[in-house]
Structure 1
Amino acid sequence: MVDFTNTKREGLTLIIGYCRVSTKEQNPERQRLKFLQLGIPERFIFEDKASGKDFERPRYQAMRDMLRKGDLLYLDSLDRLGRDYDGITREWKYITQEVLADIVCLDNQDLFDSRKFRSMGKIGKLLEDHMLSLLAYVADVERNKNLERQREGIAVAQANGVKFGRPAVEIGEAFIRMYDSWKKGEVTATAAYTALGMSRTTFYKKVKKWEEKLQFQ
């Protein structure tokens, strides 16, 4: 792999792709395929499996350090850059206005293509700033709406008797009998939880719960 981060590139510009998924279980292949179809070399596709709440992601930072004037950064969508829209605004301005690279979001190229703003000169920069401010405002309103809907949903569920948090550990008569036999040394723990049809972890959780209860009897 050619490392352009600490070398003079002698006017060479790069086309780069950045993809992100939030967890290790999610697959970024759909995003990667779009970049490969655009002709972006595999070595210039940067991928993070991390939350978008901040920008301290290793591959994002490596991509950010690589960017130079005239480079073109492709994203599948703006939220692949991050979830913090104040941070997105800051990063967008850094890349497009300080580094002087460009950003294109494939899912909405009519709006999120910094090359169009750049071609309009000073009025384009003004429009871009307004677009980013509007984006941050709309995202903040939507975030607050989502939080309010979550609070309302929890309140309704609680009013209908739904309990949140870890479910209570139920202690039945069969467990108590097997617990007594186990404590007397008549059966092993393995035999006890196997006979009860539960896992070792569940068995010991019930043991702990039952012994806590016995202390107050």
Structure 2
Amino acid sequence: MRVYGYARVSSKEQHLDRQITALRQFGVEDRNIIEEKASGKDFNRPNYAVLRNALLREGDVLVVTSLDRLSRNKVDIKEELEYYRQQNVRIKVLDLPTTLIDLAEGEDWVLDMVNHILIEVLSSIAEQERVTIRKRQEEGIAAAKAKGKKFGRPEIMMPEDFPQQLERVKRQEISAKQLMQELGLKRNTYYRFVHELEQLS
């Protein structure tokens, strides 16, 4: 039996220290702690995929600090836990004490029943948190847009001397392609500027 730990945060700016410390204190060896900085909205995570599909074997134990480290999607959590149950991989969740209990042979049904109730409740909470976070993000973006804030790449402004530079192309002193290279403009940006000047004339 091998014991693995999985630690996850959603973004590169967040830290894994607290989770890693908790896993170490529980007895998981550093070499068996899999770290990841990725969203919990689904299981499309490379390090987790290696842990699940290549490392964990029948009889092993997977330890996480909380259920939402696996996922924040209720359906996904339940399906994943069922997968591990079928693979005979034990899941231990540090903030779910009942998942840490080792019962005598034949008493596993007690643990399964209690865990099922807890998982149902906590996976619902985890999913609701994800929905709430997304809603707050959308509201924040909408409020910022209402104040005139723009998102995405800033639009490239026309150089002040572009009309004069364009005259060189019209006089056939240089080609349009050469002017694009001189000004560091992409084709679509160049022709947007040309169109804007034509609209003004």
TM over 0.5: yes
2:143 paired with 1:156: yes
Q: Deviations over 1:101-146 (max 9, x none)?
A: 32234xxx24266232867743322221111111122123223322
Could you list the runs of 5+ residues in structure 2 that have no partner in the other structure? none
Contact preservation (8 Å) 2:66, 2:95: no
| Counterpart contact for 1:48–1:59, Cα < 8 Å | yes
The verdict on how the C-alpha distance between 1:46 and 1:115 changes in structure 2, with shifts beyond 3 A counting, is same
Q: 1:143 aligns with which of 123, 130, 150?
A: 130
Deviations 1:50-97 (A, max 9, x none): 5443335454344334434432212354444234332122212332x3
Please state if 1:170 is matched with 2:153.
no
CA distance in 2, matches of 1:146, 1:82: 14
CA distance in 1, matches of 2:16, 2:127: 30
Which one-letter code corresponds to 2:194 in the other structure?
Answer: E
Please, what is the CA RMSD of the aligned residues? 3.9
Deviations 1:37-60 (A, max 9, x none): 745263x44455654433354543
Q: Distance in 2 between matches of 1:62 and 1:36?
A: 20
1:53 aligns with 2:41: yes
Instruction: Provide the C-alpha distance between the structure 1 equivalents of 2:61 and 2:165, rounded to a whole number of angstroms.
Output: 67
Q: Partners in 2 of 1:54 and 1:160 — Cα distance?
A: 33
Please give the alpha-carbon distance, in whole angstroms, between the structure 2 residues aligned to 1:156 and 1:29. Answer: 32
Percentage of pairs with the same residue = 30
Matches within 5 A, 1:49-198: 51-65=39-53, 66-95=55-84, 97-105=85-93, 109-111=94-96, 114-116=99-101, 121-181=108-168, 184-185=172-173, 189=179, 192-193=182-183
Q: Residue 197 of structure 1 corresponds to which residue in structure 2?
A: none
Label 1:152 to 1:48 Cα distance change in 2 as closer, same or farther (>3 A): closer
Q: 1:213 corresponds to which residue?
A: 196
Equivalent position SS for 2:149: coil
CA shift digits 1:146-185 (9 cap, x unpaired): 2332333233323323334443332243233234346643
Equivalent-residue separation in structure 1 for 2:191 and 2:46 (angstroms): 42
Specify which structure has the bigger relative contact order, considering alpha-carbon pairs within 8 angstroms and separated by 6 or more residues: 2
Aligned to 2:5: 17
**Residue aligning to 1:7:** none
Output the amino acid matched with 2:83.
Y
8 Å CA contact 2:42, 2:71 repeated in 1: yes
Normalising by structure 2, report the TM-score.
0.67
